[in-house]
Structure 1
Amino acid sequence: MASNLVSKLFRPPLTQLVCLRSGSLFRGKGAAAAATGTRSSSSGSPPEKISRYPIPYKKDLPYDIVELMEEVESKGGFLPNVFKVLSHRPAEFRAFFAYYNELMNKDTGRLTKADRELIVVATSIHNRCLYCVVSHSALHRIYSKNPTLCDQVIVNYENADLAPRERAMLDFAMAVCRCDTITEQHFKSLEEAGFDREDAWDIAAIAAFFAMSNRLAHLTDMRPNLEFFNLGRIPRDKSKDKAGDGN
């Protein structure tokens, strides 16, 4: 079950990333750091704080959650901190990622994976969520192959180089995010951009789900992995991959 979930949660970005290996979850000295919501640093600097809540020891977590974490880390090269932080409450962890998967990885509707990530970035900016802005900007760069658009959206989406359909999509997402009164004109504007009412539900549901996620990140003081900051900014060197395949 965990294997099926991880393939849906992170396909293809975390399974195709070229990034630094951070090692197995909670190994050695990292175990003590994990219990206090910090992670150790190999440079000798003070450990980086991940959460203000305790992060469980691996041995204390349910098997399905450990299996999911290990597979995500194995395929992606590092374990996003949201997995560690939310494992503090295993039942809610499962519910969170089940709904995340339904919203972000569905194959129906007119929203692309890049569209979905752009909605998360724009609304998370409004909600001042550092973790979601950084992590989902990285995923947008990977899906869209556009390394600069999210940076523009982060500053001001209204001035970003958006296509008309992207602008209509974000206008609607932001209306939901701000709790504006939703009128028929909102739906009409979406329809003029090529979206239908089911797409409107998807846009709104993503904005709503990540409003919750943003606030959990605020509560826990969740910090983004350093690996996220550069993902999708530098083109992948495919010649190295080919050289590795030949050995």
Structure 2
Amino acid sequence: MTNRYPMAELADLPEDIRQSILAVQEKAGFVPNVFLALARRPAEWRAFFAYHDALMLKEEGSLTKGDREMIVTATSAENHCLYCVVAHGALLRIYEKKPLVADQVAVNWRKADITPRQRAMLEFAMKVCHRADEIRDEDFALLHAHGFSDEDAWDIAAITAFFGLSNRMANFAGMQPNAEFFLLGRVPREPRAA
């Protein structure tokens, strides 16, 4: 399967978007397809990545980068989003320093090699993913028992909801993950030339 919509050409993009994408390329060594797929609509690209960064690069709260990527990987698997499972699974492997964890979480997070705290986090995320209208005080109490605050619960819910949108757009558009994502965090990384 290929993307249903043409990817934007880097040279044709507004300068702010082009510079942001070049910064990602410099850091990652490649341009993740999502950046060029969404850049065909610059205003939406800016809004999407502003909210993405607010959620995923946030320093406050007790969620680690690995926790955040675990939420994305698990809920994206529930939403059958190949792009997000592969891309965020790669980041999950890197942040957790566990080459098997992303596959485990994507296939069956209940049997994955994760902590009880992470299991409680994913239980809450899955309820938000499928039955947010049924969230009750008891759900917050279960999170509190594992050291999560109400603000952490907001973060879990916001990441789940945001990536629900992302999953649906990626699926609708036929967005394909870059080949580079499949190996990230599975094999030792080659030292980069200076």
Structure-2-length-normalised TM-score = 0.95
Identity of matched residues, %: 55
**Deviation digits for residues 93-138 of structure 1 (CA, Å, limit 9, x no counterpart):** 0000000000001100000000000000000011000000000000
Larger radius of gyration: 1
1:157 aligns with 2:109: yes
Counterpart AA for 1:189:
L
Higher helix share: 2
Name the counterpart of 1:14: none
Q: Distance in 1 between matches of 2:68 and 2:7?
A: 29
Name the counterpart of 2:182: 229
Q: Distance in 2 between matches of 1:121 and 1:59?
A: 32
**Deviation digits for residues 172-212 of structure 1 (CA, Å, limit 9, x no counterpart):** 00000002400111000000011010000000000000000
Secondary structure (helix, strand or coil) at the match of 2:186 reads: coil
Counterpart AA for 1:109:
G
Q: Distance in 1 between matches of 2:92 and 2:8?
A: 30
1:183 aligns with 2:136: yes
Name the counterpart of 2:7: 55
Counterpart AA for 1:151:
D
Name the counterpart of 2:20: 68
Counterpart AA for 1:72:
V
Unaligned 5+ runs, structure 1:
1-47
8 A Cα contact 2:33 2:177, kept in partner: yes
Aligned with residue 215 of structure 1, among 153, 164, 168: 168
Secondary structure (helix, strand or coil) at the match of 2:131 reads: coil
Q: Which has the bigger relative contact order, CA under 8 A and spacing at least 6?
A: 2
Counterpart AA for 1:92:
E
Secondary structure (helix, strand or coil) at the match of 2:98 reads: coil
Q: Distance in 1 between matches of 2:24 and 2:69?
A: 19
1:147 aligns with 2:99: yes
Structure-1-length-normalised TM-score = 0.75
Name the counterpart of 1:114: 66
1:129 aligns with 2:56: no
Moved over 3 A (4+): none
Counterpart AA for 1:53:
Y
Moved more, 103-112 or 71-80: 71-80
8 A Cα contact 2:10 2:18, kept in partner: yes
Alpha-carbon offset, residue 74 of structure 1? 2.2
Alpha-carbon offset, residue 153 of structure 1? 1.1
